[in-house]
Amino acid sequence: MSDVISVLLVDDHALVRKGFRRMIEDDPGIAVIGEASNGMEAVQLAQQLRPRVIVMDMAMPGMDGVQATREILRRLPETAIVILSMYAQESYVRHAFDAGALGYILKNAIDVDLAAAIRDVAAGKRVLDPGLIAAEREPDDVFGRLTQREKQILQLIAEGHSNREIAAMLNLSVNTVAVHRANLMDALGIHRTAELVLYAVRKGLVRVP
């Protein structure tokens, strides 16, 4: 079996993919076997090509890199994924790792060694951009104590959905959603929906265009 690490490149800009391909293929132990321009295409090509590593852009139209990572790992759990991002905020880093990514690298870092990151994640190691080490600090205590369901409802509230819409989407009763909303406000010390939305934005649950 070949020791060459197969890589799928995912970015919605062709020039960016070209630049990263050159950077990666300078290493004879790494081969780019495919390119995708969006999250949906990444999911399809991952299943078709089964690369060892996927280098995934975070911000893409439609299905973003975190969503695509989650979908790919649900189907191909042995795949190692490195997220490339313009976002240095702790919340974005946490979402990427929560989705199952093994690496998070800033796209604008001039000293990034992408080939080394690919080799590391292929070996099962976790990789974090040196400029983001501070993001490894303890997360916000209150946010960390929220359940996945509460975070999901918080995100849907921030996206503008009503209690009735959220209940239908999650197959819950309207009363259950209302209780979750009240519990969220109590836990966070927030009293208005607008404040919930701002909190969700600060935590990276909702991206502002």
Residue ranges per structural domain of the chain: 5-136, 141-202
Interatomic CA distance for residues 83 and 118, integer angstroms: 11
Could you tell me the pLDDT band of residue 134, with boundaries at 50, 70 and 90? very low
Pairing of strands 5-10, 127-128: unpaired
User: Coil, strand or helix: which one is 72?
Assistant: helix
* Nearest C-alpha neighbor of 71 from the set 62, 63, 59, 83: 63
Mark residue 113 as left, alpha or beta (left: phi above 0; alpha: psi -120 to 50; beta: remaining): beta
Q: Which of 123, 80, 85 is nearest to 102 (CA)?
A: 80
pTM for the structure as a whole = 0.64
Domains 5-136 and 141-202 are alike in CATH topology:
no
Class level of CATH domain 141-202: mainly alpha
Q: How would residue 133 be classed by pLDDT, with cut points 50, 70 and 90?
A: low
Neighbours of 43 (CB within 10 A): 22
Measure CA 68 to chain center: 8
CA nearest 203: which of 190, 37, 28, 191? 190
Least-confidence region, from 71-75, 108-112, 119-123: 108-112
Helix (H, G, I), strand (E, B) or coil at 206: coil
Give 137's pLDDT tier (boundaries 50, 70, 90).
very low
pLDDT digits (tens, 9 = 90+) for 10-63: 999 888 898 889 888 889 999 999 999 999 999 999 999 999 999 999 988 888
CATH class of 5-136: alpha beta
Q: 50-76: per-residue pLDDT in tens?
A: 999 999 999 888 889 999 999 999 999
